[in-house]
Homo-oligomer: A and B are copies of this chain.
């Protein structure tokens, strides 16, 4: 209905002017101060996502007079900031999620890191933070990963989660863009996100629930045309916390975010946008024996996820590759996947479900890679009680269907350096 537009693309000319002055982070000036004592490693089965931090972090600061400071890798520790800082008051805060994997050759690898860097630049511009040169940032990330390599778990599907962050630090209460910033990188070893929950989380008498349940929510809306849902901003997440608690009370693991849209004849349709902090996919059976793989389009309300882009590429390649080298070798080469980036409504989901053609639903993202969805609860307007869409049960170890499982296996294979694909996996050393 509306085409959301980025308010103002920073032109390459303007970037070049600012870069000529002092928006360069100089990786060559990196100062390294190693921790005097190192923390003990945590066994992979005890890791909970984002709770264990490694020994070091990278920090650089920006002010309008001196530009970016020399970056420093130093022991992990607190930030000291003026309480009037923009990051607390007005939230111009940007982050990225990346992972480093240890390959069978003993080399650490990043997955398509240039895409994270490009998105981080876009996100920083969206909240008017100082520019930075992301190529230098990537160099610094590689350096930090090399220093922290003992923290990279080697078990399959495990990795070192990397959290580059940039926050506004202007210390004044007037509502205005922050001309000061702090950029930092944290590292946290992580096991599989939803796959094989740690023993302490599964009750002994109960089969572990491998699939994720979603509560579809329309009265609260994650993003909107002209909003910030298409950028990786911290401020997109806090508004979901209270809704997440409502879902948990009703027994659902995550929220399926809907966006009401007025369609033909004034009818309001509920468009699916994202699932928790994941991009959302469904697989639907076709009459011709193939499968439709559907995900909502990047209309500005959807985060342009790296895993989303990778899933789309691999599915497209599967159908167009010669059958001798399909991109998803665990699927029959003759299986045609038809990819659709198009609006997906609850009406359509309910229709696929009731006609028995809804084969799989999964969420994708850096943290989860590919997570199977088992059911979706939805309060239809005018109906008493929740309608529950039950997805078919698949017998794979992680609960993924054939397409989701093939994608998970292939992406993890590429990430860990066991499979070479389009240069997606980038060695750190």
The chain A residues found within 8 Å of chain B, CB to CB, are: 1-2, 4-5, 7-8, 48-51, 53, 57, 76, 78-84, 86-93, 95, 125-128, 161, 163, 165, 167-168, 172-178, 184, 186, 188, 217-221, 224-228, 233-235, 237-246, 260, 262, 266, 268, 276-277
The residue from B1, B90, B241 contacting A92, defined by CB atoms under 8 A apart: B241
A81 vs B218: C-alpha distance in the bound complex, in angstroms?
A: 35
Residues of B within 8 A of A81 (CB): 78-79, 81
The residue from B173, B226, B239 contacting A188, defined by CB atoms under 8 A apart: B173
A83 touches B165 (CB 8 A): yes
Given contacts A83-B165, A220-B7, contact A245 B177 (CB under 8 A): yes
Determine how close the nearest CB of chain B comes to the CB of A140; give it in whole angstroms. 15
The residue from B168, B218, B239 contacting A235, defined by CB atoms under 8 A apart: B239
The residue from B48, B186, B237, B238 contacting A84, defined by CB atoms under 8 A apart: B186
B173 touches A89 (CB 8 A): no
Given contacts A126-B242, A218-B226, A226-B219, contact A167 B7 (CB under 8 A): no
A161 vs B89: C-alpha distance in the bound complex, in angstroms?
A: 15
Residue of B nearest to A265 (CB): B266
Residue of B nearest to A163 (CB): B173
Given contacts A242-B126, A260-B2, contact A93 B83 (CB under 8 A): no
Determine how close the nearest CB of chain B comes to the CB of A224; give it in whole angstroms. 4
A228 vs B240: C-alpha distance in the bound complex, in angstroms?
A: 10
Residues of B within 8 A of A184 (CB): 83
Please state the number of chain copies in the assembly: 2
The residue from B49, B177, B242 contacting A173, defined by CB atoms under 8 A apart: B49
The residue from B4, B90, B172 contacting A237, defined by CB atoms under 8 A apart: B90
Residues of B within 8 A of A167 (CB): 88
A239 touches B126 (CB 8 A): yes
Given contacts A83-B165, A186-B83, contact A241 B91 (CB under 8 A): no
Determine how close the nearest CB of chain B comes to the CB of A307; give it in whole angstroms. 16
A242 touches B125 (CB 8 A): yes
A277 vs B176: C-alpha distance in the bound complex, in angstroms?
A: 11
The residue from B80, B93, B234 contacting A79, defined by CB atoms under 8 A apart: B80
Interface centre among A5, A51, A174 (most CB of B within 10 A): A174
Interface centre among A48, A167, A177, A235 (most CB of B within 10 A): A235
B84 touches A219 (CB 8 A): no
Interface centre among A81, A91, A92, A188 (most CB of B within 10 A): A91
Interface centre among A78, A167, A238 (most CB of B within 10 A): A238
A82 touches B78 (CB 8 A): yes
Residues of B within 8 A of A224 (CB): 221, 224, 227
Residues of B within 8 A of A239 (CB): 126-127, 227-228, 233, 235
A78 touches B83 (CB 8 A): yes
Can you report 15 A-B residue pairs in the complex whose CB atoms are below 8 A from each other?
A1-B262, A7-B219, A48-B174, A50-B172, A79-B83, A80-B80, A81-B81, A91-B91, A91-B234, A92-B238, A126-B242, A177-B242, A218-B226, A220-B227, A221-B226
Determine how close the nearest CB of chain B comes to the CB of A368; give it in whole angstroms. 11
Residues of B within 8 A of A79 (CB): 80-83, 88
The residue from B90, B125, B246 contacting A7, defined by CB atoms under 8 A apart: B246
A63 vs B299: C-alpha distance in the bound complex, in angstroms?
A: 40
Determine how close the nearest CB of chain B comes to the CB of A59; give it in whole angstroms. 8
Given contacts A83-B57, A224-B227, contact A91 B51 (CB under 8 A): no
B221 touches A225 (CB 8 A): yes
Residues of B within 8 A of A165 (CB): 83, 88-89
A175 touches B237 (CB 8 A): yes
B175 touches A276 (CB 8 A): yes
Given contacts A91-B235, A218-B226, A227-B227, 13 further A-B contacts (CB under 8 A): A2-B260, A7-B243, A50-B174, A84-B163, A87-B87, A87-B88, A88-B234, A89-B165, A92-B238, A127-B239, A127-B241, A224-B227, A234-B235
